[in-house]
Structure 1
Amino acid sequence: MANRAYNFNAGPAALPLEVLQNAQKQFVEYEESGMSLMEMSHRGAVYEKVHYETETLLRELMSIPEGYKVLFVQGGASTQFAMVPMNLLRAGTTAAYVATGSWATKAIQEAKLFGDVAVAASSEADAYKRIPAAEELKLPSNPAYVHLTSNETIEGTQWTDYPDTGSVPLIGDMSSDILCRPVDVSKFGLIYAGAQKNLGPSGVTIVIIREDLIAKPEGAVPTMLRYDTHAKADSLYNTPPTFAIYMAGEVLKWVKANGGAAGMAARNNEKANLLYDTIDSSGGFYRGFADAGSRSIMNVTFRLATEELEKQFAKESEAQGFVGLKGHRSVGGLRASIYNAVTPENVQALAGFMRDFQSRNG
């Protein structure tokens, strides 16, 4: 399609063109219903079909075992930073968190509002350039759960293998890498993810929670912030973000048609390897931020020799149609977010621009 930008935004992020085009066709009238899906009651049969089909697709593509509930909630991952401790942290227990960067730190700060928190491992001393090894985790004597951030979008680091926490529930914030590769859901007590990076537009948050963790929370927790509220009502307690859930379902259909989680892994590794090879073969002109063993296949972060050169890179790339390559304002540098829907062709174009920019400025 003409005039489509090379979209490397960190989120909201690129969506598959086919999904956008199909949604455009159905936007005004959904499947001969006489109205848009956005105009329908969430209690009606037409929307309920979309709702449950989306859940079924997610269960299939992530191989979610029996004994887990899938919830569609609102508020983004940032609300989950609070909902997790509000529902799972109880008197006499301590929440254990792994500090791997900006988003893990935000989750830790929020959890401290609701009870005792221990940092089980941290890479802060290494400027969050790496993911701690499993043997570095030191759990408190009374852990309620262990929380990790699967992929840090700002630093560009990602867990390769998840730690085995035994009987202690493992909680995973997978907002920026859900369905980028196969994951053994049974390792987790709870997984949450904002949709706006790999699963659809902003507005819906996915929660996958083991049923034994759905219980009445201690103390006064607002109705809408309780997992049991949404679990009992199949995420239909109040009006859910219907259009965002529909779009997530369409993206899941696209993922299935393109090889499922394994197909996404192959696609994403190809894209990431191309960019990291471009960085590593530049003779130091480009410098990757994350340690090699912790590099993300979703967010490729890198630096140039000076901030002035980075500003020039961002300006010139934007002029050529590349969007979203500035690093996060908190750390600077440059970042290419290459989520599932970012095409290999767009990544090849970026690698070509990077080589050209080096030839003119190296």
Structure 2
Amino acid sequence: MLYEDRYLARRVNVWRDIFPKGLEEKLSGCRVDDSICCDYGPGQLVPPAREANVLRLPFEDFQQRTISGRHVTTRLGRFYPQGMLRDILGVFPSTTTPFRIVEMDDHGFVADCNHPLARFPLTLEARVLRLEDKSGETDGRLSHWVEEFCNWGPGMQAHLPDTATDFVDKEFFDRIDTAADASFYADPRIIGHVDSQASANLQAIYSRSLQPGMRVLDLMSSVESHLPLEMDIVVTGLGLNGVEMSKNPRLSRYVVHDLNTDATTLLQPSGYEAVVCSLSFEYLTHPVAVLNNVHDLLVPGGVLLVGLSNRWFPTKVISGWVDLHEFERVGYVLDCMQRAGFTCKEAVSMRNDWRPPWDDHFVETRGVSDPVYVVRAEKAA
């Protein structure tokens, strides 16, 4: 399983910033479009794993909280802010550094407070996108680039060795709006659900797994498929609003169907080389059943691509999705894919990209594009 995270480093200052070992030297003399690569063993790029950071605690040392109206409970494999742990030296209620529950029994749990990447070998590749002369001072500000792109998420999508994460509780699939989805989606929304740069990033990642001539199913489709317009593929859309899909230039045909009412797609089995589900997985109330049907639709060796971001309709998203960290959501999708019989191959993320300056949300987002996450799995050949 390969995990790839792309992070746009803005305003890199080679004179002031802090770089990981070996990177600054390799960057010296690089021109635009040059790339360099550094390999690191476990614990060389981020702090190494230490047994002292693995704590066995009673359940009363887990401080209960409520998030989005849901009571947070200890669950095997899940990550939580360290501020939820009681009486830990150097940890305060506001500490958001993550820890993971790696064991549980009747008496308590084991909290691994090591960095989520501490036990993984890592490869760091840097590509120069633009060079500029320094126009002025930045009042002593510097960037610690390992912290910028390694902290607060990467590594949290990986499963524990030989242990499934306990994602789902009895309220996981609850939603604020319990009415049929057909009613909510009856009025067409002719808008994109991420900014145009995020859509282009989804297209770029999807394109790595698509070939000309492929038959593609766009699952939970809408007005955009986030698929490359220039690629010669035949795309069928399945969604809840026919008007939206009729405006989608990428679709050759479309079917109106509610997967939360009937997890089967009503399409002919074994007809598609690829299935894509963009920015909608968080609405599924029976995701494994849907993916079981998708498995049947794909030819042997066919690919499943699920794209995610951090925006959704709040009344229709499943409650458990909101509880999860963005990178943990990737782990949840991986878990659903594996339960449906898929072989998971890679997870790719793109973060901190530039949002187009003409975008309506440019100012409030400080020019940062919506993050995208793509999980790729395959049906056995």
TM-score by length of 2: 0.31
Higher RCO by CA contacts (8 Å cutoff, separation 6 or greater): 1
Rg (Cα) greater in structure: 2
Compare the two structures and name the one with the higher helix fraction.
1
